[in-house]
Chains A and B, each alone.
Chain A
Amino acid sequence: MRRKKRFDGLDVLVAERGGALLATAVLLTGSRVAGEDLLQVALERLMRNWSRVQGDKEGYLRRTLYHLAVDRWRLRRRRPEVLAEIEPPGQADGTEALHLRQALIQALALLPPRQRAVLVLRYWEQFSESEAAEMLGCSVGTVKSTASRGLARLRELTAAWALEGAGMNGVGR
């Protein structure tokens, strides 16, 4: 196939690392469909710049995912996901942590793209602040403040969830 000739090794890369890249894309966008679209665009960018990307192709893809998510994806989202249809636990039954995690993931989708990207870098990729800063092309201070704001927002959203006890609709700003 032409693709194999022109983009030698890309099939293998996607086969072996596609799942991990998709996971990052899904967390960055908040849905599988949008995550697949984001990864597709990143792959197109890689193909376009194939001859100029030496060495770490996965690193290029990953970096592109983050930059697309921060710089462009925001403009593409007409109808971002809202926190809905999540019922708070009515009583302590051992599933509170699970509910909280689900609420956190949905709240993540409400954050501004850069805050979301920073939190994905820090808590999914387990990047240090300096590594996250390098990935996003910003300062460590920016990563710190952005992560802080993102966590504060998540705390705010999930606190509202816990307090309101009536679903998460309308929590967004």
Chain B
Amino acid sequence: MTTDLEEQLTVGMRDEVAGLTFTRDVLGEAARRHRRRTALHRTAFAAGVVGMVGALAAAMTVSTGGAAVSPGPVAERPTATTADTPQLRLAAAAAASENISYRVKVTTTVKDKLPPKDELPEPVSASWVTEGAFDPATATGYLDSPYTGLRPVVAAGFEHERLVNGVRYIGGRDGSAPDNGKIVWSRYPGRQDNLDYDLALRGGLTASANPQELFGALRRAGAKVTETRGGAYHFEVEVKDDPSRGVVDRLVGEVTLGADKRIAKVAYDRTASVTRGEVYTYHLHVVTELSDYGTPVKVKPPAHAHTWPSK
């Protein structure tokens, strides 16, 4: 039986992919995404939500003809100043939050009706939390987002990440024995100065991707920002992506500042409509909380990590 099954599996695989051809320009799309990523990295603000809000503010100031607040050394970083428009105040808050360490907690909740319990081979997450900290000055931080079940394809990410002086490590379950809780670490080649902690914002392949990309798209789309009575900033934007990517994102939420006039919370509803292949719309609620600005962030590299992907 085993031999026959193995033989049938081999033949079945060959049958399955016989004559397979591309249905779209995969290389061209990869090149476009690479160029966009490269360009955005050059102009991006600080990582994560701080960067996201900075970019949002920049988008707003550009749209209103104003000048974005340029970043400076941490020691000279002001709290929000006397800017007199919602856009400039938000820009000032974003600038005040840049280049300073902080803790972050991202809570993502799926608002869609979950599939029946036994429909999928793995459980589905209704909600999950990502926690971490980041110090842009030392390019050091960490993220923990324990796997609690399948997540929407538009909210992908790694279970664990560490960034130690620019060296990034990713940790995931051992696929050969995913239930034993063992985390296998891999080290990314090269160095980087940001941490992809915005799990809730990353859309992966076909959605809005990281905050820089998201707000690059926002800049093009033209987000609408208004100040609320409570001093928060309401934003709405629809990100119409390249049709070949097949996802339309809509974000509606608020940026709340703390007593120090730095960003304390970004909460929004995200509607991500996958329009290519199996049509599906994801509805997520995301709350990102930033705290403990200026607290030292110390992270140790994992004891064992192999290079990922190795050459």
Chain A residues engaging chain B, CB cutoff 8 angstroms: 2-3, 7, 10-11, 14, 18-19, 22-23, 26-27, 32-33, 36-37, 39-41, 43-45, 47-49, 52-54, 59-60, 63-64, 67-68, 70-72, 74-80, 82, 97, 100-102, 104-105, 108, 110, 112-115, 117, 119-120, 123-124, 126, 137-138, 142, 145-146, 149, 151, 154-155, 158, 170, 172-173
Contact = CB atoms under 8 A, between A and B. Distances in A.
A155 to B, nearest CB: 6
Interface centre among B23, B28, B34, B147 (most CB of A within 10 A): B34
Contacts of B174: 114
A52 B277 contact: no
B126 interface: no
Given A71-B308, A138-B176, A145-B176, A76 B26 contact: no
Contacts of A11: 27
B177 to A, nearest CB: 9
A67 B309 contact: yes
15 contacts: A22-B17, A36-B23, A37-B206, A41-B205, A43-B27, A44-B30, A44-B33, A75-B151, A75-B156, A82-B120, A105-B15, A114-B178, A119-B9, A146-B175, A154-B9
Interface in B87-143: 115, 118-122, 124
Contacts of B14: 124
B6 A123 contact: yes
A52 B8 contact: no
Greatest chain A CB density within 10 A among B15, B16, B151, B308 is at B16
Interface of B: 1-2, 5-6, 8-17, 20-24, 26-31, 33-35, 37, 115, 118-122, 124, 147, 150-153, 156-159, 170, 172, 174-176, 178, 186, 189-190, 204-206, 276-278, 280, 282, 306, 308-311
A48 B190 CA distance: 10
Nearest to A15: B27
9 tightest Cβ-Cβ pairs between the two chains A and B: A114-B175, A101-B12, A23-B17, A43-B30, A172-B121, A67-B309, A47-B34, A76-B156, A33-B277
A52 B189 CA distance: 9
A71 B13 contact: no
Contacts of B308: 67, 71, 137
Given A19-B20, A110-B121, A36 B26 contact: yes
Nearest to A126: B10
B176 A101 contact: no
B20 A23 contact: yes
Given A78-B152, A155-B1, A112 B10 contact: no
A155 B2 contact: yes
A26 to B, nearest CB: 6
Contacts of B306: 137
B124 to A, nearest CB: 7
Given A11-B27, A47-B34, A76-B156, A27 B120 contact: no
Most chain A beta carbons < 10 A, residue from B26, B122, B150: B26
A154 B205 contact: no
Nearest to B18: A23
Given A78-B124, A112-B178, A71 B1 contact: no
Nearest to B147: A75
Contacts of B12: 100-102, 104-105
Contacts of A52: 189-190, 311
Contacts of A37: 205-206
A74 B175 contact: yes
Which of B115, B147, B156 is the most central at the interface, judged by chain A CB atoms within 10 Å of its CB?
A: B156
A44 B34 contact: yes
A163 to B, nearest CB: 14
A88 to B, nearest CB: 15
Contacts of A45: 309
Nearest to B7: A123
Nearest to B112: A78
A104 B9 contact: yes
Contacts of A151: 2, 5-6, 9
Tell me which of A18, A26, A76, A80 has the highest count of chain B C-beta atoms within 10 A of its own C-beta. Answer: A76
B308 to A, nearest CB: 6
A77 B153 contact: yes
Given A27-B17, A79-B115, A101-B9, 17 more contacts: A22-B17, A22-B20, A23-B20, A40-B30, A44-B37, A52-B311, A63-B311, A71-B175, A75-B150, A75-B158, A76-B151, A78-B150, A79-B278, A82-B119, A117-B175, A123-B6, A137-B310
